[in-house]
Structure 1
Amino acid sequence: MRRIEIGRIGKSYGLEGGLKFRGEAVIFDLERVYLEGLGYRAVEAVEEHNREIILYLAGVRSRQEAESLVGLRVYADQADLPPLEEGAYYYFELIGRPVFVGSELFGEVVDILDGPQDLLVIRPKGSSLRAQHKTHLVPLQAPYVHLEAEAIRIEPIPGLLD
């Protein structure tokens, strides 16, 4: 069984054990999560308040109990994730995919940065120290980025990967 990181616990919220959740909206569809170092906890409720996700977990009833969880990574079992519509992917499924520019292998996706515009972090192929430490950021939703079943193809755009 594979666990996928879906976010982190933020600050406590309110007096009744609420937690701000920083991560994937898939939390709304889960019945349980795995907390880093603590094991599984049932999800009792998930709310949205002022554009923030508030999470209530079984066994967390006070602000003090909630504060002890701040900063922990939150995981979901891959089997618990809801299916996506055709052509959609979870971000973890994109990590490790080869990236082609035109028909040439350029590198692979090593991470995805969430933000107003999600960015693919691409490490170019090569064994030199420079290649191992250099990365390129490419907007995931850009019209020149094409997600395919086994690879990501980027149309050659001048200056994008220089």
Structure 2
Amino acid sequence: MRRIEIGRIGKAYGMAGGLKFRGEPVVYDLERVYLEGLGYRAIEEIEELGNELVVYLSGVQNRQEAEQLAGLRVYADQDDLPKLEEGEYYYFELMGRPVFVDGRPFGEVVDVEDGAQERLVIKAKGTSLRAQSKTYLVPLQAPYVKIEADGIHIEAIPGLLE
């Protein structure tokens, strides 16, 4: 069984043990989560607060208990995650995948940034320290980015990898 990090616990919210949650919206589809170092907790309720989520977990009954959990990583068992449609991927499935530019090995995906547009963070492979420390941001939904079985293939366009 593999656990996947889906977010972090933020600050306590309210007096009834609410916890601000920063992470994947997949939490809506889960019955339980695994808290870093503490084990599994059932999700009792999820509340939307503006553009933030507040989760209520079993065993967290008041603000004092919630404050002790701030900053903890939140995980889900991979088997508990809902199945995605063809062509959709969880971020963790993209991490570590090889990247090819115009058919040649280029590097690997080290992160995925979420926001107005999802971006792959790609670390180039190379022998120099400069090459090893350089990262590139590539829009995931761009028509020149294709996810294949052997890795992620990018057709280079002017300025993309400069």
TM-score, normalised with respect to structure 2: 0.94
Matches within 5 A, 1:69-84: 69-84=69-84
Match of 2:161 in 1: 161
Q: Which runs of 4+ in 1 moved over 6 A?
A: none
**d(CA) in 2 for partners of 1:66 and 1:150?**
43
Shift of 1:117: 1.7
Shift of 1:128: 2.6
**SS state at 1:100 partner:** strand
Q: Count how many residue pairs are aligned between Structure 1 and Structure 2.
A: 162
Match of 1:6 in 2: 6
**d(CA) in 2 for partners of 1:4 and 1:54?**
20
Match of 2:60 in 1: 60
Deviations 1:109-141 (A, max 9, x none): 011122222221101122332222111111112
User: Any stretches of 5+ residues in structure 1 without a counterpart?
Assistant: none
Shift of 1:24: 0.3
User: Any stretches of 5+ residues in structure 2 without a counterpart?
Assistant: none
Matched to 2:90, the amino acid is Y
**SS state at 1:89 partner:** coil
**d(CA) in 2 for partners of 1:3 and 1:127?**
33
**SS state at 1:28 partner:** helix
Matched to 1:44, the amino acid is E
Matches within 5 A, 1:1-162: 1-162=1-162
Most deviating of 55-64 and 108-117: 108-117
**SS state at 1:4 partner:** strand
TM-score, normalised with respect to structure 1: 0.94
**d(CA) in 1 for partners of 2:141 and 2:11?**
30
Matched to 1:75, the amino acid is Y
